[in-house]
Structure 1
Amino acid sequence: MSVTTVPIRPIKKGSLTKLWIGLALVLLVAGALAWVGTGKAICENGTNEMFLACNADNDGIIQTESGLQYKVLKPGEGASPTLTDTALVKYEGTTRDGNVFDQNEQTPMPVGGVVPGFSEALQLMQKGGEYRIWIPSELGYGEQSPGPDLPANSVLIFDVTLLDFISEEQMRALQQQMQQQGGLPGGPPPGQ
């Protein structure tokens, strides 16, 4: 029986090192991609605290001492409303999963008469400004659920436009003027 021998060429010097370095780089890149993907999943599906911590790291997000987060989409001009003012706003409120729980094209609201996070955000805005705000549950409704569309302990996300605002004194003057004129235009006649 005869065996034919085939000569095996020797491996070039450094080839094995290059192979190990290439394998290490592939494993490092795969690990980094897994870490980024896991981090994103934790941010999107984790607890409210995890979500808000990740959100705070995004570009343009400002976090106040209370934990309210906001991003200026369009700056406004002039003064900001105070706690006693009445603001005219356009808003859309969503939950973290994007479900709309409340919206309005134009509604007056007392700045001091809304959830603390919304009130704080309104006091940061100027007329014409558009903000996106993230309200932690403790600055929103907390453990209370205001309705079936909003579970308890929800982070509230609002896109808000401050259309205008008037002071408490101006509001009282308008109310007195309307009472003197007999009510709202188009309303029932006085005495009915």
Structure 2
Amino acid sequence: MNLQRVSIFFFLVLSIAFVSCDAQNPFDRGPVYDVAGNLERDSLLIADYLDTADIDSLYRIHDPSGVVIIVQEEGTASRPNGGNVIYTNYTGSLMSDGSVFDTNIENVARDNNIYVETRNYNIFSFQLGSGNVIQGWDIAFRRLRSGAKAKLIIPSPYGYRDSETNDKIPANSILIFDVEFKGMD
């Protein structure tokens, strides 16, 4: 009986060892994204950018996450909570070279050669905290009052990380969004 238990135990150990060495192991997800390392790198780049950029602002919010919110026009309504639907106009650009990669404003899209004829250029809406937008937006919009205009500087871990699915956004890009917080439900 003990020999049978030892045999079963030995068989299980070998099976686990064999599966973990298999190149087709479904639990092997590759290298882990280095959030802390990228935040450290991005914070230095953002600090250099802010030292030299000529940005009109009422005030700046340096969120503990590393997201920077530069309020250019104060809103008069309240701040949103998780679950509120946010309505905004936006233009997204790369901090590295200022190139515009996305907008919901038709003339801005045309001026930057990113216009898509089949796209609907209306006010953009999303539910705060639902995961439908990049994490940096959820962080930043919680700090703005409805009616505000602001510039959001979003470190790569709160943007698109190391994704290479959009040819206009290189991996680990720091993003800048000019937003006009139109209202919320």
Q: What residue in structure 1 maps to residue 7 of structure 2?
A: none
Matched, 1:52 2:41: no
**Greater helix proportion:** 1
CA distance in structure 2 between the partners assigned to 1:57 and 1:99 by the alignment: 20
Higher relative contact order (CA 8 A, sep 6+): 2
Q: What does 1:1-192 correspond to in 2, within 5 Å?
A: 48-57=42-51, 60-96=59-95, 97-105=97-105, 106-112=123-129, 113-166=132-185
Distance in 2, matches of 1:77 and 1:49, equals 30
2:63 maps to amino acid: T
Query: How many corresponding residue pairs?
Result: 120
Shift of 1:57: 4.7
1:28 alignment counterpart? none
Equivalent pair of 2:153/2:177 in contact (CA under 8 Å):
yes
For the residue of structure 2 that corresponds to 1:150, the secondary structure is coil
Counterpart AA for 2:125? P
**Unaligned runs of at least 5 residues, structure 2:** 1-40, 106-122
Report which of the two structures shows the higher radius of gyration computed on alpha carbons.
Answer: 1
Is the Cα–Cα contact under 8 Å of residues 56 and 69 in structure 1 kept in the other structure?
no
Question: How many angstroms apart in 2 are the aligned matches of 1:125 and 1:148?
Answer: 30
Change (3 A) 1:56 1:65: farther
Confirm or deny: 8 A CA contact 2:77 2:147 kept in the other structure: no
CA distance in 2, matches of 1:93, 1:67: 18
Normalising by the residue count of structure 1, what TM-score does the alignment of the two structures yield? 0.58
Deviations 1:13-36 (A, max 9, x none): xxxxxxxxxxxxxxxxxxxxxxxx
Task: Give me the CA root mean square deviation.
Answer: 1.8
Which residue type is aligned with residue 126 of structure 2? M
- For 2:50 and 2:81, locate their aligned partners in 1 and report how far apart those are by CA, in whole Å: 26
In the alignment, which residue of structure 1 is the partner of 2:111?
none
